[in-house]
Each structure stands twice: as structure tokens, then as C-alpha cells.
Amino acid sequence: MHTLNLGILAHVDAGKTSLTERLLHAAGVIDTIGSVDDGSTQTDSLSLERQRGITIKAAVASFVVADVTVNLIDTPGHPDFIAEVERVLSVLDGAVLVISAVEGVQAQTRVLMRTLQRLHIPTLIFVNKIDRGGARYDTVLRGITEKLAPASIAMGPATALGTRGATIRPYNAVDADFTSRLVDLLTGRDEALLAAYVDDEAALSYPRLRAELAAQTKRALVHPVFFGSAITGAGVDALISGVTELLPTAANDADGPVSGTVFKVERGPAGEKIAYVRMFSGTVRVRDRLPFRGTEEGKVTALSVYEDGSDVLAGAVTAGRIGKLWGMGDVRIGDAVGVPHRTRTNDHHFAPPTLETIVAPVHPADRGALHVALTQLAEQDPLINLRQDDLRRETAVSLYGEVQKEVIQATLADEFGVDVSFRETTTLHIERPVGTGAAVEIMHADPNPFLATVGLRVDPAPVGSGVAFRLEVELGSMPYSFFKAVEETVKGTLQQGVHGWQVTDCTVTMTHSGYAARQSHAHAVFDKSMSSTAGDFRNLTPLVLMSALRQAVSQVYEPMHRFRLDVPADLFGLVLPVLARLRAVPHSSAAHGSSYVVEGAIPAASVHGLERQLPSLTRGEGVLECAFDHYQPVRGEVPTRPRSDHDPLNRREYLMRVARRAGG
């Protein structure tokens, strides 16, 4: 039996969860197809998902086709929950990207497809809703070719579009036009195949073309396109055949070293932590002690695997499969268990959250309960990025959008019994150093009160590179724990730069080091007033680093979204001044029938305002698509964010709050 871990991805409302239901029904896993509107679907099990009719958390179900067990992972389509999609990408063997035959390619569709292609994840495209009014065939295919995947090919024509009787007919060997398009598509990506065709056209028989189509699809070079309807079932059998024929199954090295990735964490009824793990090699059994995050270890007390639609208790989970593990109390999302898997990194594939808000309990007595609840939510979604301000007794959370804020509020009330309020959502900026800055403080020399010597240089680095730490001093010049303390403190301190925003895209190099050796006289007791500790380096590093960053000049950048705005042509003149007030910059505009389409860039801070005004501006006919694109330098007044630490930019205040060295 082979295993295929298959992700279902889509722009919100394209019918992704309905397709999941139809696939499970076609495979005989469920007797009745659930409804998103009625809240009765198999994978949207959270009460909040059922109430709102959207997927919030990734969910796993399974079915069997021939000799393949398909673990189906249904992911959120709403952009506010893109972090949930990101975690799933690292465990997929293949994907189905769902597009609506009515709306066609949308903003989120493009974001998802670019990421799938960048990670070389084999992907089929399913054009859903051919039974809906306004469904299109040629236009959607053209949009797929132009905006998503030039190397795509339709696998069958659709008839009676826009009616309940809409259906598809899979192409076969007698369809000469399809065969010709296959030859053009496949030979353009395989020189050996092209040479065989040039030598003898007859050498490319239809079976050979189908085999080559499967081979190139499995290498993520081409993307077959299937049409159908999740509601009526049209085209779904053809899609299932395509999944098993064209997508790769998982490697099954059950006897190899244990290697897996945690892609989801949740809490059970008793508050116990449950880790969802995709196994890449080896076998994990109940009572095994499983290493993770390098040096930590947990004992598996129970596990389940996916079979016949849901998870069932089992004694072991083997390579290629997905298991739910109990007993891993300290495990986190993204952790590698056993030997780290090398073929798929845990780097961020999507833009980080660009919004932030302060969350506070309605009842002050719930402050402790709120902290516990938010900590558990952060386990399930690390990108909400809790920022605790102990000085003001406030907690900030990062967001992708207003819907996510509403979901957090409802979750805290329903699952934890904590009513909260939010302050106004603000935009998350970032800082990048413009030039180079350096600073050093020498032990036993004023004004350094710590038993440590630290010198740091800050240099700008390429956009998107994050923060790197380097050494220009000998690693053996002082204990390794002191170097580690400096590195960890550097990365922690850069969460708040000169203007209070996270600093990124820079290299920090340690240029000077020194320490006071531990007392070693005969019968002497360790005296921290005369000997360096890691605390000396942790306390001194922020002062040196921020001094260097000030010298380098830290520039503030704001997040920018690309937008596509479709408005009635007669209202286009009214919309342009609003875009200008919101600091949107149109890059192109064109008439499309009775509407006008504008594309350009808009500050993330202005998106919500445009969304609010659009219905009244356009008689409810305007359609806005937005997705994060880049950061650009802030023009005009530089925004700042209050610090939540001891503020190393204010040396006097910092030293008053941080314990001094008695012997400094």
C-alpha cells in the first residue's frame, strides 16, 4: 500500500472544503456529503468553523483508491489564516489547487501557486463550480496560462456550463488536438523526448505521452487542469484518477532512521498536547523516546494514524504516513523529530503578519487566564507572535487581518471562558540598517559596569535574508556559553530596533570579546563579583548592539500590498481620488466591458479603509483583491512603537533596571 499526502488549497470560497467532502464521499468514506453553509462538513470540525462557514485550521482525512492511501489535508482559504497553509506545505507529496469557474484566478490563488512552484510541489488544478451561473471555460484556462502556470493543459472539455447538467469528458487517445497539445507541452521540457519525436513522430504513442505527462507532473514541471463541480460530482472521478496517476506517492523507508516534521499542534479534552507528525522515514512506536529540536526528548505515550476517513489508535506510525502523537509535552510546530528532513525547509514561504493589536481582558481578574490561553493559542499558531509588555502589563498579538482578530476573540471566549477587547489594529513596520555601525565596551573600563567585553558591528544584508550572526573573534577565546548568550541576546534585542520595530535583513558580527575567568585559587569558592557569567554578556549586549544600530542608521519600512480593483466603469472617476487619499499608487488600468480594472500598490495600513468605503463607492459592485507584496521606506513622519523591554537606548534607565556588577 502506497501513501500520498495531498493538500487541498484555494482562494476562499472556491469550494475547497466542498471538494474534500465530495472526494471522501466518492471513496466511500462518508455516506452523506456535508454542507459548508450548514456546518456539517467532515473537516471543518471546530464550532467556530461551522458557524462561520470557513476553514480556520488545517484538518486531515483519508481515503483509499486502488493501492494508494490518500491523506487529504484541507487548508484554510482565507488569507487571514495563511500561516496554517504554510505549515502544511512542508509535509505534502502533492497538491490540488482549486479555482472557481466563475471568479477564475484570484489574488490568493496566485500567492499559493507561486509558493507551490517555488517548493517544487507537484500540483493539479481543479476548476470547480462549472454548474454555477457565469461559469467559464476558455477564459479561465487563459487566466491559468497567463497568471498561474504557462505549462498547464486541460484534461477534458466541459459542456452545459452554468447549469446543473454541466459535465466533462476526459480526453483520450482519439482526441487529436489534445494529443498534439501534449506533444508540444512535453517535448518543450524534455530534450530526449523532443529528439525521439523529431526522429519518428510515431514513436510518441499515446501511452508513452501519458507516462511522460505523469513523469513531468511528478517533477512539478507541468500542471494538468481538471474541470468539474464538487456539488454535483461532475469531473470528480477524473480528478481522482489524475491524483493517483499523476502525483507521486511518499517514499516508504520504514526501516530507516526516524525522521519527521510536526506541522500542527492541538490540545486534547484534558489539555494534553497532541502533535501531528508527517513521517519521512523510519518508524515511531508507542513508548519510544523521540528526540526533537536537537537536544530535547519526549516519550510517545499514545499515537494514532489515519485510516478510512479518520484517525485510529495504533501501535506505530511508519514512513510516509501522518500520525498524531501524545506525550511530546514540549514539542512545537515546525520541530523536526528524529533526524531533520533535508528536502523541505521550515523557512517562511509567505509574508509575515503585517498588523498588530493589543488584547486585554474585559475583567482584570482574568489577566492570568488570558496569558495561559494566549500561550496555548501561540502553540497552535506561532505567527500570532505574542509580545508581552511587562512594564505596561499589556500583550500584543500579530495579525493577518480583522477576521483573524474576530476568530481569536471568539476562541478565547468559547474555549477558555475569557472575554477580551482589542485596541485599534495598527500596522507592523520593520527596520533595516542603511549603513554600517560598530560599538564596543571593554571590561573594567568606564562606563561598562559588567564583567564582559563585547564589540559588535551591524551591516546591511540582502532583502529577505533575516538576521545573521557572525564571529570575527576566535571561538576558543572564551567559553562557548558566553558566545551563545551574545548571539541569543542579539536576536532577541533586534525584535525592537531604534524606532521600536523588528530589525531584519542585517548581519551582526562580534568583533571583540573578553571575560574574567572563574576563580581557580585553591579552596576558593566561586565569586560572581570577580568572575564573568552569561548574565554579564546578556546584560551588556543590548547596550552595544543598539549603539551600533544607531550609528548604522535604522530606516523604517511599511508593508505594501499589491491590489486589483474591479469597479463599474461609470464610477471609476469617483474611485481614483479615494485611492489617492489612501496613498494607493495605480500601476495600470484598463476597461473590461462595463467595468474598469485598476492594479497597483497600496499601503497595508490603507487596505481596511478601502474595504470599508468600497461598497458605498461602487453600489456594492466593486471587487478588491489584495496580497502582501513588499516593504518600502516610510516617507514623512517616522512611526514608532513603544518599547516593551528595559530600553537599552536609554542607558541610565536601562542600568537602573538591570542588575549591576558589584565588582565592575
Give the span between the Cα atoms of 571 and 578, in whole angstroms: 12
Classify 431-552+644-657 by CATH class. Answer: alpha beta
8 Å CB contact between 105 and 39: no
Backbone angles phi, psi at 454, to 5 degrees: -135, 125
CATH number for the domain formed by residue range(s) 2-246:
3.40.50.300
Number of H helices, E strands in the chain: 16, 34
pLDDT for res 662: 38
Give alpha helix (H) positions in 339-401. 367-380
Of 595, 518, 601, the C-alpha closest to 560 is 601
- On the 0-12 / 13-18 / 19+ scale of CB atoms within 10 A, 402 is middle
pLDDT tens-digit readout, 411-451: 899 889 999 999 888 899 999 999 999 999 999 999 999 99
pLDDT for res 54: 62
Give the span between the Cα atoms of 95 and 120, in whole angstroms: 11
Estimate the share of the chain in helix, then strand, then coil, as percent rounded to the nearest 5: 30, 30, 40
- Residue listed under C-alpha cell 486541460: 154
pTM here is: 0.74
SS3 310: strand
Q: How far from each other are the two terminal CA atoms of the chain, in whole angstroms?
A: 68
**Sheet strands side by side (includes 310-314):** 296-299, 289-292, 336-338, 259-267, 273-281, 322-326, 302-307, 310-314
Of 353, 413, 418, 416, the C-alpha closest to 386 is 353
The C-alpha cell at 135 is 461559469
Sorted by where each begins, the domain ranges of the chain are 2-246, 259-338, 355-428, 431-552+644-657, 557-633
Classify 557-633 by CATH class. Answer: alpha beta
pLDDT for res 224: 98
Backbone angle region of 248, left / alpha / beta, with phi > 0 → left and psi within -120 to 50 → alpha: beta
E strands along 75-122, which residues? 94-100
SS3 133: coil
pLDDT tens-digit readout, 265-314: 888 888 889 999 999 999 999 999 999 887 788 999 999 998 877 789 99
Give the span between the Cα atoms of 54 and 72, in whole angstroms: 17
- Residue listed under C-alpha cell 460530482: 233
SS3 23: helix
- Does residue 447 have a cis peptide bond before it, meaning omega lies within 30 degrees of 0? yes
Give the span between the Cα atoms of 425 and 116, in whole angstroms: 31
How far, CA to CA in Å, does 180 sit from each of 171, 200, 220, 224? 12, 15, 21, 15
| Superfamily designation of domain 259-338 | Translation factors (2.40.30.10)
Q: Which residues of the chain have pLDDT under 50?
A: 44, 345-346, 661-664
SS3 172: coil
pLDDT for res 411: 87
8 Å CB contact between 354 and 604: yes
Give the span between the Cα atoms of 342 and 281, in whole angstroms: 12
Backbone angle region of 557, left / alpha / beta, with phi > 0 → left and psi within -120 to 50 → alpha: beta
Of 322, 444, 291, the C-alpha closest to 3 is 322
Calculate Rg over the CA atoms of the chain.
28
The C-alpha cell at 37 is 453553509
Question: Can you name the CATH fold of 355-428?
Answer: Alpha-Beta Plaits (3.30.70)
Q: What is the DSSP string of 496-516?
A: S-TTSSEE-SEEEEEEEEEEP
- On the 0-12 / 13-18 / 19+ scale of CB atoms within 10 A, 12 is middle
Neighbours of 268 (CB within 10 A): 10
SS3 276: strand
pLDDT for res 74: 85
Check for a shared fold between 2-246 and 557-633.
Answer: no
What per-residue string of b and e applies to 199-222 under the rule 16 or more CB within 10 Å gives b? eeeeebeeeebeebbbbbbbebbb
